[in-house]
Structure 1
Amino acid sequence: MPRTAALLRLAAAAAASTRASSASAARRLCPSSDGSEEHAATREDGRLPPTHHRPPDPDERRPPRRGEHRRELLSITMASRDHSGLTRQLLDFKHDTIDEVGAEHDPFIDLKARFMDFKQRNCVEKISNYQSLAEQQTPKFMVIACADSRVCPTAVLGFQPGEAFTVRNVANLVPPYEHEGSETSAALEFAINTLQVENVLVVGHSRCGGIQALMSMKDDCTSGSFIKNWVSIGKSARLSTKAAAGNLSFEMQCKHCEKESINSSLLNLLTYPWIEKRVNEGTLNLHGGYYNFVDCTFEKWTLLYREGLEGGSKYAIRNRSTWS
């Protein structure tokens, strides 16, 4: 029995000591309203004595030195750890990083795999050709195609790196020659005069949104829309379509205009003096192409331009064929 009583007294004293530590820590965090701190001490019987206030020490009113708040909070956390378990929960909590949160939604994962495949096929396996392309490009074609994501000319026609100098814009339009020029005009100048390409291919396609915008315009339309201002380049194709297919449905009119606008762009190419010169010399050929992704067919033709052609016309279409 004496041994049991002694053990009970020791346990009570330990519990009181723990309570006293927690209470002291809490009082350090929350000082009394008069600025003094309450200090608790345990008596030998394990009970807390009555609290009392003492005059505040002037040093206790000074601003805390750098790092004191951190040490005080740390001591409070250590004192209360065994009771609340909050510290252990925080330590055990797993914070996901940005990479872990967004990895499954990263759109570049697939692009990276495609690039590595491209690198293997075009750089590693054809290293000599790749090194040659790194020095210069000598494409035989300049391709002017629509920006539509469904009609990439490189994918549709299988161009390899270095084979085609490509420009893409809304509705694959070529503006007529102007001194101010445009991005397409600058690309034409570089391809014809610097790269000395031998063929210019203008590629249109089915269900073109740019052509639909062109055919939807009013005759006297003035708009601040970038798209409408741009597609107005093809007004001549729109007028030709209205004259030839005005009795057809809007869908059929658009289909007619999709091809008519290609010819309009081919004629606009000839307004550039250096293009007309090379066409007359026979060193540059102008071609039209139409990709129908509905039935996956491709139609191509060549514009023949010469002074004094039979019948008095300067223009003619030749070598028309359909790949299906």
Structure 2
Amino acid sequence: MFPWSLRSAARRLAAATRAAASAAVAARSPSPAPWQERPPAVEDREEHQQRAAVWDDDHRRPRRSDFSCATKASEDHSGLTRQLLDFQHDTVDETDGGYDPFSQLKERFTDFKQRNYVENFTNYQKLAEQQTPEFMVVACADSRVCPTSILGLQPGDAFTVRNVANLVPPYEHGASETTAALEFAVNSLQVPNVLVVGHSRCGGIQALMSMKSKKDDRSSRTFIRDWVSLGKSARLSTEAAAGNLSFESQCRHCEKESINSSLLNLLTYPWIEERVKEGNLNLHGGYYNFIDCTFEKWTLVYRPGLEGGSKYAIKNRSTWS
């Protein structure tokens, strides 16, 4: 049993296609030309249709017959729609008492609208015009670690991107959804803070620590392997500092070390380094332990002009419990 009917979905899709086509025609329809202001008589209808077929949106250029194209599109069930209509299976509709995974989401959305949106309507109207978030948050895609929930972030507070193991690639890695989000947040939104949030029992970090060397690993490449390999410097640091500990302890060490590695990678972006030097951007790390519900926070200090010693330091370290 499927929780919803593919046939029902196909019918709704076909109806939506026809509605969209009609709306598109209506949106492109020009204001009536003088000869269109009155309904044509029966004897004039053929001439009326011929003239309408070549009448342009701005009354100057011939146009395509949008109506005929839209009608054909709405009546011609092809591609996926045709496959769905032809698909035969014993299914149940959403309204037949079967399990609907969206029912709870619907209730939550309704509650959000009544308790949050309506009560903060003025703020949402301001957000509709502009967003000025205080934070850019890079967090893990893990379903147990939602930065909005654990940090109480509200709409407009943070521009967020989530990926496996909350990794920030170095600048030379090239384009990705994470680098694009960083560029927009820093250059366009000009956020004053970037926060990288890691967490306990991270599957991405476990995958990183479990990887064999390329020489020994004969398995095929995977997207996960290629992605978490970005944290190899954190793995090497962990093996050097905690190689004698249990695998679980090494993973926990690497979870925090990878956050610092990502903070250093942030400084490989010229526009991030520039804003940090100017004092207009601060880089922070955070570690959420959902086993005992604690949160560690620290700030990376960058001192490029320092002669001798490290250019980097950690300050303002604190634990929230």
The two structures have a TM-score, normalised by structure 1, of 0.68
Which residue number corresponds to residue 99 of structure 2? 105
Distance 1:179 1:149 in 2: 26
Query: Residue type of the partner of 2:212?
Result: K
Q: Retained in 1: the 8 A contact 2:167–2:231?
A: yes
Distance 1:105 1:99 in 2: 7
Which residue number corresponds to residue 301 of structure 1? 298
Deviations 1:142-172 (A, max 9, x none): 0000000000000000000000000000000
Q: Quote the offset at 1:308 in angstroms.
A: 3.4
Q: Retained in 1: the 8 A contact 2:285–2:299?
A: yes
Distance 2:113 2:163 in 1: 27
Aligned partner of residue 319 in structure 2, secondary structure: strand
Q: After TM superposition, what 4+ stretches of structure 1 lie above 6 angstroms from structure 2? A: none
Which residue number corresponds to residue 37 of structure 1? none
Aligned partner of residue 192 in structure 1, secondary structure: helix
Distance 1:132 1:107 in 2: 33
Structure 1 range deviating more: 203-212 or 171-180: 171-180
Aligned partner of residue 178 in structure 1, secondary structure: helix
Which residue number corresponds to residue 44 of structure 1? none
Distance 1:176 1:192 in 2: 16
Which residue number corresponds to residue 209 of structure 2? 215
Match of 1:171 among 149, 165, 170: 165
Q: Which of these two proteins has the greater Rg computed from alpha carbons? A: 1
Q: Quote the offset at 1:180 in angstroms.
A: 3.2
Query: Residue type of the partner of 1:292?
Result: N
1:179–1:293 distance in 2 versus 1, CA, 3 Å: closer
1:160–1:244 distance in 2 versus 1, CA, 3 Å: same
Aligned partner of residue 288 in structure 1, secondary structure: strand
Distance 1:202 1:219 in 2: 27
Match of 2:142 among 139, 148, 152: 148
Query: Residue type of the partner of 1:135?
Result: E
Q: Quote the offset at 1:316 in angstroms.
A: 0.1
Which residue number corresponds to residue 195 of structure 1? 189
Q: Retained in 1: the 8 A contact 2:94–2:100?
A: no
Which residue number corresponds to residue 244 of structure 1? 241
Which residue number corresponds to residue 320 of structure 2? 323
Structure 1 unaligned spans of 5+ = 1-95
Query: Residue type of the partner of 1:184?
Result: T
Which residue number corresponds to residue 180 of structure 1? 174
Q: Retained in 2: the 8 A contact 1:309–1:315?
A: no
Match of 1:121 among 108, 115, 134: 115
Q: Quote the offset at 1:191 in angstroms.
A: 0.3
Which residue number corresponds to residue 284 of structure 1? 281
Distance 2:235 2:109 in 1: 41
Structure 2 unaligned spans of 5+ = 1-90
Identity %: 79
Structure 1 range deviating more: 106-115 or 268-277: 106-115
